[in-house]
């Protein structure tokens, strides 16, 4: 009876958050495109889940869960380490790192880091439009501290606190956000799963520094004016997903997953994914992202460079005992920009 009461309370709180977020997002989401900042928080840097089009909100497990649904962090059995590198539209490099460590019998702590490298950009001004002033390199990064806990054999929940930092030439913005999520699984072999995640809820951010100052040159004077940046909101969103594992035997498994994403500052999305697994050694993944206008040409209805299709695979190699190493890859089709390739590695100790 106590467990049932806990379950009712958890789902009531999540449902309340869902109701508020979805109502707000559905009424204003598309009309508010471009009014948020820190859009790097929407980038999935991990190869496994991005190959499924991030549709596995309900089934994701392990340290990679810190991005999609932190409740899945309870799938870490002992210590798990992940690395990834993505070529984002060819010119931007994304590097990510995460560690998960089991704490006690039911808890798991996680630390994650994500950084965007834009390369060197030539400095220009109105007086020097052709450069000659050197270069600068913008730095976008975020660091997350996560904790997840198993409340029962079927219910898990978690939360992530994230520090966000963006800096360019003598200008910077900093802020905080938090994510929260819940997992529920059922069935004789826990093959049916349900997940909800609320992401990027946090403080407004604004750029400060000398980089936005404007200098006016006169015949006999020079005046510098400070332009103050308006606060911008974070791109909050809500994931609601389900998945089902078809366990044909101990060798072959097929997982199907479906996810609905309600975005506060962009179009809502339906995400589909499927994964075939051969034991624990090989996994093949396919996914598709559907949103309004996805079948149209770019700027003629389609407002994203991605065309919807994604795929990927993983090879896992047992090393000794419970220790294993896996190599992950994902592909996300894009047009007219270059498609995105992500390469990752995972060590399970």
Question: pLDDT by residue (tens digit) across 171-219?
Answer: 889 999 999 999 999 999 999 999 999 999 988 888 887 766 666 666 6
CA distances from 252 to 236, 247, 315 (A): 37, 7, 15
Q: How far apart are CA 80 and CA 326, in angstroms?
A: 11
Please name every residue paired with 284 in a beta bridge, in sequence order, or none if there are none.
276, 313
Q: pTM of the entire structure? A: 0.87
Pairing verdict, β 135-136 and 121-122 = antiparallel
Question: 279's torsion region: left (phi>0), alpha (psi -120 to 50) or beta?
Answer: left
pLDDT tens-digit map of 34-59: 678 899 999 999 999 999 999 999 99
Q: Do 71 and 195 form a contact (C-beta atoms < 8 A)?
A: yes
What does the domain layout of the chain look like in residue ranges?
A: 2-348
pLDDT at 35: 76
Token pair for residue 172? 């910077």
Q: Do 310 and 51 form a contact (C-beta atoms < 8 A)?
A: yes
Quickly state the pLDDT bin for 144 (edges 50, 70, 90).
very high
Pairing verdict, β 192-202 and 213-217 = unpaired
pLDDT at 218: 60
CATH topology (fold) of 2-348:
Porin (2.40.160)
Q: How far apart are CA 313 and CA 279, in angstroms?
A: 14
Spatial CA neighbour of 180 closest among 165, 199, 167, 163: 199
Q: How remote is the C-alpha of 349 from its chain's centroid? A: 24
């Amino acid at each position: 009876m106590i467990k049932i009461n806990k379950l009712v309370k958890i789902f009531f709180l999540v449902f309340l958050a869902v109701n508020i977020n979805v109502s707000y997002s559905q009424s204003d989401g598309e009309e508010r495109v471009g009014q948020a900042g820190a859009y790097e928080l929407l980038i999935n840097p991990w190869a496994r889940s991005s190959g499924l089009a991030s549709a596995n909100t309900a089934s994701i497990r392990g340290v990679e869960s810190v991005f999609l649904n932190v409740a899945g962090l309870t799938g870490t059995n002992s210590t798990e380490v992940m690395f990834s590198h993505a070529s984002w539209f060819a010119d931007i490099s994304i590097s990510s790192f995460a560690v998960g460590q089991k704490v006690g019998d039911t808890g798991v702590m996680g630390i994650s880091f994500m950084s965007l490298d834009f390369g060197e950009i030539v400095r220009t001004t109105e007086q020097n439009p052709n450069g000659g002033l050197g270069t600068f390199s913008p730095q976008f990064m975020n660091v997350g501290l996560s904790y997840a806990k198993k409340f029962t054999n079927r219910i898990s929940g978690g939360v992530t606190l994230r520090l966000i930092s963006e800096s360019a030439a003598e200008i910077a913005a900093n802020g905080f956000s938090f994510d929260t999520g819940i997992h529920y699984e059922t069935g004789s072999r826990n093959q049916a799963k349900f997940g909800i995640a609320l992401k990027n809820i946090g403080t407004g951010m604004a750029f400060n520094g000398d980089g936005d100052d404007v200098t006016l040159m006169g015949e006999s004077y020079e005046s510098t004016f400070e332009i103050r940046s308006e606060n911008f909101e974070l791109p909050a969103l809500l994931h609601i997903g389900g998945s089902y594992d078809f366990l044909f035997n101990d060798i072959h498994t097929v997982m199907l997953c479906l996810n609905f994403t309600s975005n506060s500052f962009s179009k809502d999305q339906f995400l589909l994914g499927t994964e075939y697994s051969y034991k624990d050694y090989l996994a093949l993944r396919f996914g598709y992202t559907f949103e309004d206008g996805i079948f149209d040409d770019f700027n003629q209805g389609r407002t994203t460079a991605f065309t919807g299709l994604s795929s990927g695979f993983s090879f896992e190699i047992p090393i000794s005992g419970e220790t294993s190493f896996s190599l992950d890859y994902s592909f996300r089709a894009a047009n007219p920009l270059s498609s995105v390739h992500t390469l990752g590695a995972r060590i399970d100790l």
